[in-house]
Structure 1
Amino acid sequence: MRRIFILSLITSLLYSCATTKIKKIRKETAQMLTESLFDNQFLGVFIYDPLNNDTILKYNSEKYFTPASTTKIATLYTVLKTLPKKIPALKYYTTADTIYIEGTGDPSFLHPYFKDSTALSFLKKYKNIKLYLNNFDSNAYGPGWAWEDYDAYFQPERSPFPIYGNVVSVYKNDSLTVTPSFFKKEVKVLMAPKAREHYENTFYYNPDKNDTLETPFIVDSTLVRTLLEKALNKKINLVNTFPKVEKQTVYSIPTDSVLKRMMAVSDNFLAEQLLILVSTTLSDTLSVTKAQQYILKNNLADLKQPPRWVDGSGLSRYNLFTPEAMVHILKKIYDEEPRERLFNLFPIVETLRAPTDSYGATNAPFIYAKSGSLGNVYCLSGYLLTKSGKTILFSFMNNHYKQPTAEIKKQMQLIFENLRDKY
């Protein structure tokens, strides 16, 4: 009895110490959030311990915020739950002498980074190719995208059969190199307010530039056919209908390679096209909305605060997520995916402090997270590894601030370091 009593007493004391420690961490974190830096802005925070099912801190965590590119976490989860290990490159049907093909939204086809030619090699075997492009039920631009960014590298058009990443790449060495070369005659070397005309595929390259310029081109059916013809060096016919048959699928590169790139460089084009790819596994119609509705109904029906989710990338300010909803999705990924895969897909955040800070990071990386930035918006959601070996899930959403983003990041880093060292 005495031994049981002593063990019970020790357990009680340990629990009491642990409770006191957590209370202290909560108090310290809350104090850091009361800094005047955060006064004139909208701030939402949710920090959660999945092992103990314990909320460490919540502040405005049930309110809706503009998530910016942290929206890609929802896109990531959708892909993880729906797409196979390899990207569906295209769907097809063959007759004796003809192949009918339709796009799946695969962004990797002849993409400047992936340079995948799986579908190209497959199509070279066929003499008669009929291309169907009427399976797309989304707009080229997402709801609320900035119209003035039509020529910006980060806002290529969405389409059913992307090619070359839907951008023209131009760089100057001894001479001007243009990819795809089809556009070379449309590139003018001169100073201009924009990199492309608004309503036509005429491009401008600053003669003083030394780096690669990537500019979205306007996508239409005739252009896609022409670019594909040039790549294959054979004639292609556009068709308005696809035979009502069971289609087969060609697969290309590993899905994780596209996801990793999307998360690492916050690639908006990849995010949008990945949701289109998801829809090709659900029906014959390619639709961003269809993919979003599916995952919200089937895998995220338990969200306490359902989001307003309008695109895959977070470019739109119409998107609205709560910090709690974001952590809820992070927990699902944490529970359902192997740790190695999870931390391979999420970018490592070395430090949020400026590299010139004398007290910069000197420890091993401990944050795996996705950031999101728009004007007056900075968000960060992901996983924090503590020195005690625990994994903490968190979502910070900063909206409507006017001070430098660097100051916001610096204060967040202090909070993260305190959690790392003491939790």
Structure 2
Amino acid sequence: MKNTLCCFVAVLLLASCASTKNRKIRKEIGRELNDRLLDNQFTGFLVMDATTKDTIFCKNHLKYFTPASNTKIFTLYTSLQVLPEKVPALKYLVQGDTLFIQGTGDPTLLHPHFQDSTAIDFLKNYEHIALYLNNFNTAKFGAGWAWDDYPYYYQVERSGFPLYGNVVTVFGKDSIQAIPAYFKNNIVAMEYPINREADRNLFYYAADRTDTLTVPFRVDSSLTRVLLETVLKKKVQIINEFPEGDKELLFSVISDSVNKRMMVESDNFLAEQLLILAASSLSDTLDGFRAQEYILENQLSDLQHPPRWVDGSGLSRYNLFTPQSMVHVLQKLFDELPRDRLFTLFPAGGVSGTLEDWYTGDDQPYIYAKSGSLGNNYCLSGYLITHTGKTLIFSFMNNHFLRPSSEIKKRMEAILELLRDTY
């Protein structure tokens, strides 16, 4: 009885110490967030212990924010829940001497980074190829995307059968070169305010440039056919109806290789195509909204504050998410994936991707998180490893500030370091 009483008292003392420590942490964070620097912006912050699920700090965590690329956390979760281990590259059916194919939205085929040719090698085995493109039911640009961002890599057109990442890569010293080479004659060697005309595939690259330029191209069925014919060195027929029959699947790269690049490099094109890929695994219709509906109605039906989820990348300012929803999904990922796999899917502070220059640890990273940036908005959501070895899950959202984002990041870094050092 005496031993039991002693243990009970010890537990109470430990709980009291923990409670006192947490109060001090909350007070210090509150003081930082009440600084005049943050007066004219909207800030939300939620931090939880990943193991105990105790809330360490919260402010405006139930309010909706423009998340920017934090939206990719929801896209990542959808991809991990729906896609198989390898990316579905094609759906196909063989009838007689003809191979009938339709796209899945696979972004890796001849992509400048992945340079995957699985589908090309497969197609070369058939003399007669019929391509069906009418299963793509998604607008090329998302709702709320900026109309004048069309010539920049971060706003590549979405499509059902992407080739070369839907971009042309221009480079050269002595002479201008292009990948795919089909566009070489579409490049004008002159200095010009824009990289491409808005309504056609006419590109500009100054003759004295020595860097590499990556520009989205306009996608249509005729161009897709020509690019495919060029690489296959054979004719491809565009068809309006796909024949009846059981389709088979061809797979390409490991899905996590796409997930990781999407998250670490914050690649908007890959994010958009991952939602389309997820839709292809649910039905024959390539509509990213179907994948969003599915995941919200099933695996994320327990969200207390369902988001306004408009696209896969976070380019749209129509997106609205709460810090609590972000933490909810991050907690699911933490509970469902091994740590060594989960953390490699996120940028590491001071080491990789969009966090390479921020949130540097002592001898190893202490932050594994997804950043999100739009004009006057900066958000960061992910995982924090404390000096005591605990894992915290957080979502830190800042909207509508007018100061340089570097000042906001410095204040965030101070708060995150406080959690690292004291919890």
TM (norm. structure 2) is: 0.97
Name the aligned partner's letter for residue 166 of structure 1. N
**Which blocks of at least 5 consecutive residues in structure 1 are unaligned?**
none
**Deviations 1:21-54, CA, capped at 9 Å, x for gaps:** 1111111111111111111101111111121121
SS, match of residue 332 in structure 1: helix
Partner of 2:14: 14
- CA displacement at 1:361 relative to structure 2: 5.2
What is the distance in 1 between the residues matched to 2:131 and 2:356?
50
1:177 and 2:183 aligned = no
Name the aligned partner's letter for residue 64 of structure 1. Y
Name the aligned partner's letter for residue 322 of structure 2. T
Q: Please list, as runs of the form range in 1=range in 2, the aligned pairs for 1:381-396 lying within 5 A after superposition.
A: 381-396=381-396
- CA displacement at 1:401 relative to structure 2: 0.2
Relative to structure 1, is the Cα distance of residues 5 and 361 closer, same or farther in structure 2, using a 3 angstrom cutoff? closer
What is the distance in 1 between the residues matched to 2:320 and 2:366?
28
Q: Is the CA contact (8 Å cut-off) linking 1:187 and 1:204 kept in structure 2?
A: yes
**Deviations 1:300-342, CA, capped at 9 Å, x for gaps:** 1111110000100000000000000010010111111111110
What is the distance in 1 between the residues matched to 2:272 and 2:356?
31
- CA displacement at 1:389 relative to structure 2: 1.1
Q: Is the CA contact (8 Å cut-off) linking 1:129 and 1:237 kept in structure 2?
A: yes
Q: Is the CA contact (8 Å cut-off) linking 1:354 and 1:406 kept in structure 2?
A: no
Partner of 2:137: 137
- CA displacement at 1:12 relative to structure 2: 1.4
Partner of 2:318: 318
Partner of 1:73: 73
Q: Is the CA contact (8 Å cut-off) linking 2:348 and 2:356 kept in structure 1?
A: no
- Which shows bigger deviation, 203-212 or 81-90? 203-212
Name the aligned partner's letter for residue 308 of structure 1. R
Q: Please list, as runs of the form range in 1=range in 2, the aligned pairs for 1:90-239 lying within 5 A after superposition.
A: 90-239=90-239
**Deviations 1:38-83, CA, capped at 9 Å, x for gaps:** 1110111111112112111111111110000010000000000000
SS, match of residue 154 in structure 2: coil
Q: Is the CA contact (8 Å cut-off) linking 1:32 and 1:415 kept in structure 2?
A: yes
What is the distance in 1 between the residues matched to 2:362 and 2:6?
42
Percentage of identical aligned residues: 56
**Deviations 1:248-305, CA, capped at 9 Å, x for gaps:** 0100000000011111110000000000000001111000111100100011111111
Q: Is the CA contact (8 Å cut-off) linking 1:379 and 1:398 kept in structure 2?
A: yes
1:370 and 2:385 aligned = no
- Which shows bigger deviation, 256-265 or 206-215? 206-215
Q: Is the CA contact (8 Å cut-off) linking 2:98 and 2:126 kept in structure 1?
A: yes
Q: Please list, as runs of the form range in 1=range in 2, the aligned pairs for 1:248-263 lying within 5 A after superposition.
A: 248-263=248-263
- CA displacement at 1:18 relative to structure 2: 1.2
**Which blocks of at least 5 consecutive residues in structure 2 are unaligned?**
none
Q: Is the CA contact (8 Å cut-off) linking 1:311 and 1:319 kept in structure 2?
A: yes
Name the aligned partner's letter for residue 297 of structure 2. K
Relative to structure 1, is the Cα distance of residues 307 and 360 closer, same or farther in structure 2, using a 3 angstrom cutoff? closer
Name the aligned partner's letter for residue 392 of structure 2. I
Q: Is the CA contact (8 Å cut-off) linking 1:44 and 1:323 kept in structure 2?
A: yes
SS, match of residue 281 in structure 1: helix
What is the distance in 2 between the residues matched to 1:293 and 1:172?
45
What is the distance in 2 between the residues matched to 1:68 and 1:338?
27
Partner of 1:397: 397
What is the distance in 1 between the residues matched to 2:3 and 2:123?
77
Q: Is the CA contact (8 Å cut-off) linking 1:385 and 1:391 kept in structure 2?
A: yes
Partner of 2:345: 345
The count of residues paired between Structure 1 and Structure 2 equals 421
Name the aligned partner's letter for residue 370 of structure 1. K
Partner of 1:53: 53
What is the distance in 2 between the residues matched to 1:241 and 1:203?
34
- CA displacement at 1:206 relative to structure 2: 2.4
Name the aligned partner's letter for residue 291 of structure 2. A
What is the distance in 1 between the residues matched to 2:294 and 2:134?
22
What is the distance in 1 between the residues matched to 2:88 and 2:355?
40
Q: Is the CA contact (8 Å cut-off) linking 2:360 and 2:366 kept in structure 1?
A: no
What is the distance in 2 between the residues matched to 1:166 and 1:203?
14
Q: Is the CA contact (8 Å cut-off) linking 1:353 and 1:406 kept in structure 2?
A: no
SS, match of residue 154 in structure 1: helix
What is the distance in 2 between the residues matched to 1:162 and 1:318?
26
- Which shows bigger deviation, 359-368 or 67-76? 359-368
SS, match of residue 153 in structure 2: coil
Partner of 1:336: 336
Partner of 1:276: 276
SS, match of residue 11 in structure 1: helix
- CA displacement at 1:363 relative to structure 2: 4.1
Q: Is the CA contact (8 Å cut-off) linking 1:384 and 1:393 kept in structure 2?
A: yes
Q: CA RMSD in A?
A: 1.6
What is the distance in 1 between the residues matched to 2:268 and 2:393?
24
What is the distance in 1 between the residues matched to 2:162 and 2:246?
23
Partner of 1:285: 285
- CA displacement at 1:2 relative to structure 2: 2.4
What is the distance in 2 between the residues matched to 1:10 and 1:354?
43
Partner of 2:242: 242
Partner of 1:295: 295
Partner of 1:23: 23
